[in-house]
Amino acid sequence: RTGNGQPLFLPPGQLHAPITNLRFDPIRELPDKVVEMRETKRLINILVTNRMSQAIRQIVTNGIIEQPGLLGHDGHVIVQALDAKLADVDTIVLITPPNPIATDQASTVIKAAKAAGVRKIVRLSALKATADGPTDNTRQHAHTDSELMKSGLDYVILRPHLFMPLMFMAAESIATSDKFYFGMGEGKMGLIDIRDVADCIAACVVSDDHNGQAIELTGPNSITFHDAAADLSSVLGRTI
């Protein structure tokens, strides 16, 4: 959020240069601004879009970035509007942020994709997406993953661990009191940067090498928030 508490929305041009061919862009800059937690998947959408060739048509269904006319006032996908967007689409990137009707949103897209002759869906799921998962979010993801696997469509399911930019939630308390608070104890996480998640999505769109797979995505190390505090202390030159 900005200093006055208003949501911060970032146009794609502030992130990196657009891509004009089927290579992946090594550019890794992000704006030097704090991003609210709920904007994380919005940024993934922007990153993926800019990493894809303009020749590839892509539908991103997201409760935060609303495709014009795609979502109704109640958040449900408008089938007729979706059908109009699926003409000649080969591959869909399906991203649904945590919300009470995420399963319904995703199910509508999967059914419409199959009816329209879409070949493949690349889906962003979550780590521990199982029927008995620890949260409503993981259980909803499990339901959608299962539906996609049974749909007859080609698919790749990506299950990332905690997004690293969510550390920005602690930016204010670190700046004002040299402390941050998460109820994790000694729990370890494979924090992953959303730019890496976007690269994985883009790779699975332009290649069929991973079709039929559910892949867990993590960062290079499994760390605690105590480790994160030590790294921040080293970088900032004071004890966090």
Q: What is the pLDDT of residue 156?
A: 96
For all residues of the chain together, what is the average pLDDT?
Answer: 74
CA distance 77 to 92: 15
Sheet arrangement for strand 120-124? 60-61, 91-95, 120-124, 154-160, 213-217
Distances (CA, A) of 13 to 47, 49, 80, 129: 10, 12, 31, 33
Q: In the structure encoding, which two tokens stand for residue 132, read together?
A: 């008995």
Is residue 77 within 8 Å of residue 106, measured between CB atoms? no
Q: What is the pLDDT of residue 169?
A: 83
Per-residue pLDDT tens listing for the chain (240 residues): 233 333 333 333 333 333 333 233 333 333 333 333 344 555 555 555 555 443 333 333 333 334 556 767 677 777 777 787 787 788 888 888 788 888 998 999 899 999 989 899 999 999 999 999 998 989 999 999 999 999 999 999 999 998 888 888 888 999 999 999 988 889 998 988 888 888 888 888 888 999 999 999 998 889 999 999 999 999 999 999
Q: What is the pLDDT of residue 186?
A: 92
Per-residue pLDDT tens over the stretch 22-69: 233 333 333 333 333 344 555 555 555 555 443 333 333 333 334 556
**Residue-wise burial string across 48-76, b where 16 or more C-beta atoms lie within 10 A, e elsewhere:** bbbbbeeeeebbbbbbbbeeeebbeeeee
Is residue 121 within 8 Å of residue 113, measured between CB atoms? yes
